[in-house]
């Protein structure tokens, strides 16, 4: 009996290592079909999940109901599994160099619990070759087992979009790969248990790793083009969103928009590809150009605000700015790699007084991660308001609201254009 059949009969267990935005939804989905162990090194998070609370605030408590799952941070419990899915984060450091420490530590954990006949599938975003060249040696050094001969390994990139209730693990085609034909077949069948949209069998682990990288690199470059266009159109005194609306009437025009590019994927993944590319002797040009544009948007926005304040307020140090939105995208609590933090940092570097609000973000997390907290209350005399993220709560606000919290000469910087043709009593600007 193979491992797939054992999982179906609950004679074997599947384990998910790393229960964040990606890992927890995967674990719960599988737990509706088979026995699952949810493993996380954070004991506090484990306890929350035992009480049907998602630490990432993405899932309701009802998502835990009807699930055959055991949450743990104990390696002895983890050893009971036979099929391991690794879903730990893969960030970049302050120099935009891939930080493989989380995935390396996960590999060490796997090495401590791995047994003959077990399967390991990595979902963490990595550069092509990382699974076989970086993770496998760690696993084999600790376990003493050999890939293919003793255990099987595969890669299946995560495609979960935080905050997106339509495109979920079950509705997005799953790319799968394995170290041999047998492993590919088993891994595909296991994921087909939960992925209604079906699976795509990649020809190799490297191909699957590369596919994930270029998905987000493509989006990053398209947004970079929009950001560069917005800079050009601003100098022409043309509203970018009006241009995009007009151009979008053509059937094959791709409807991307300008904005801050952060989060744990789009603003990070391209650096994994360019890092590996440089290691192999090729310096990326187009990809890094897009990254430079997008990473520079925070400074560009801050300078536009500063210019307005200098023109209308003689003393910059007395000026007050409200930044609305701190998460990396709308309607989520995730602040990882939020470029709003860069906007705040740039504004403060000009000695401006900055308040930050966000209906979804945690003030404590912001303080810990970026050194600033959410304002306890807002003022009524801001010189500028920067709306960075189009939360649903913000979309309900109107011209009267902004008039009530700002000085008559204030500017409303609406980065995503949600108040276009709405703000009339104050200076309006958007990307």
The catalytic residues are 265
Strands 427-430 and 353-357, sheet pairing: unpaired
How many Cβ atoms from other residues are within 10 Å of residue 8's Cβ? 15
**Helix%, strand%, coil% for the chain, nearest 5:** 40, 15, 45
Strands 406-414 and 427-430, sheet pairing: parallel
Torsion angle of C-alpha atoms 179, 180, 186, 192, degrees rounded to 10 = 70
In contact, 37 and 81? CB cutoff 8 Å: yes
Q: How far is CA 243 from CA 135, 229, 239, 348, 386, in A?
A: 47, 10, 7, 32, 22
What strand order describes the sheet that includes 119-122? 69-72, 36-39, 14-17, 83-86, 119-122, 152-155, 174-178, 199-201
Distance of alpha carbon 323 from its chain centroid, rounded? 21
431 burial level (CB within 10 Å; 0-12, 13-18, 19+): buried
In contact, 152 and 120? CB cutoff 8 Å: yes
At CA 143, angle to CA 138 and CA 148, rounded to 5? Answer: 85
Q: Is 179 helix (H, G, I), strand (E, B) or coil?
A: coil
User: Could you give the CA distance from residue 97 to residue 127 in angstroms, rounded to a whole number?
Assistant: 12
- Spatial neighbors of 77 by CB under 8 A, at least 6 apart, are 37, 39, 70
Cite the DSSP H helix spans in 236-362. 240-247, 269-279, 286-295, 297-312, 340-349
Going by C-alpha positions, the residue among 262, 172, 178 that lies closest to residue 216 is 262
Going by C-alpha positions, the residue among 50, 48, 52 that lies closest to residue 61 is 52
User: Could you give the CA distance from residue 190 to residue 3 in angstroms, rounded to a whole number?
Assistant: 9
């Amino acid at each position: 009996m193979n491992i797939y059949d054992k999982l179906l009969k609950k004679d074997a267990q599947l384990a998910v290592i790393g229960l964040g935005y990606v890992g927890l939804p995967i674990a719960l989905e599988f737990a509706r079909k088979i026995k699952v162990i949810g493993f996380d090194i954070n004991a506090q998070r484990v306890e929350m999940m035992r009480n049907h609370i998602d630490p990432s605030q993405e899932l309701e408590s009802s998502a835990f109901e009807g699930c055959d799952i055991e949450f743990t941070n104990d390696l002895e419990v983890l050893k009971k599994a036979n099929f391991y899915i690794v879903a730990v984060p893969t960030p970049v450091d302050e120099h935009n160099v891939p930080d493989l420490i989380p995935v390396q530590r996960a590999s060490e954990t796997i090495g401590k619990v791995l047994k003959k006949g077990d399967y390991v599938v990595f979902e963490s975003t990595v550069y092509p070759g990382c699974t076989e060249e970086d993770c496998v040696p760690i696993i084999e050094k600790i376990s003493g087992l050999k890939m293919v001969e003793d255990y099987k390994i595969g890669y299946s990139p995560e495609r979960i979009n935080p905050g997106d209730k339509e495109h979920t693990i079950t509705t997005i085609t799953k790319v799968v790969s394995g170290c041999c034909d047998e492993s590919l077949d088993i891994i595909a069948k296991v994921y087909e248990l939960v992925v209604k949209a079906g699976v795509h069998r990649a020809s190799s682990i490297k191909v699957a790793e590369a596919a994930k990288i270029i998905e987000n690199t493509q989006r990053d470059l398209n947004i970079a083009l929009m950001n560069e266009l917005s800079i050009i159109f601003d100098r022409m005194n043309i509203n970018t969103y009006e241009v995009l609306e007009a151009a979008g009437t053509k059937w094959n025009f791709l409807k991307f928009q300008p904005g801050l590019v952060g989060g744990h994927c789009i603003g990070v993944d391209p650096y994994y590809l360019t890092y590996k590319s440089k290691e192999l002797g090729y310096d990326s040009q187009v990809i890094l150009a897009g990254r430079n544009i997008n990473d520079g948007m925070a400074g560009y926005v801050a300078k536009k605000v500063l210019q307005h304040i200098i023109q209308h307020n003689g003393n910059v140090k007395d000026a007050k700015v409200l930044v609305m939105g701190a998460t990396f995208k709308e309607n989520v609590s995730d602040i990882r790699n939020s470029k709003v933090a860069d906007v705040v940092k740039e504004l403060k570097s000009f000695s401006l007084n900055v308040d930050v609000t966000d209906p979804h973000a945690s003030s404590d997390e912001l303080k810990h991660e970026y050194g600033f907290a959410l304002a306890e209350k807002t003022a009524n005399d801001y010189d500028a308001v920067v709306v960075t993220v189009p939360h649903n709560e913000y979309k309900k606000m109107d011209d009267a609201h902004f008039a009530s919290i700002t000085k008559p000469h204030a500017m409303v910087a609406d980065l995503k254009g949600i108040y276009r043709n709405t703000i009339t009593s104050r200076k309006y600007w958007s990307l």
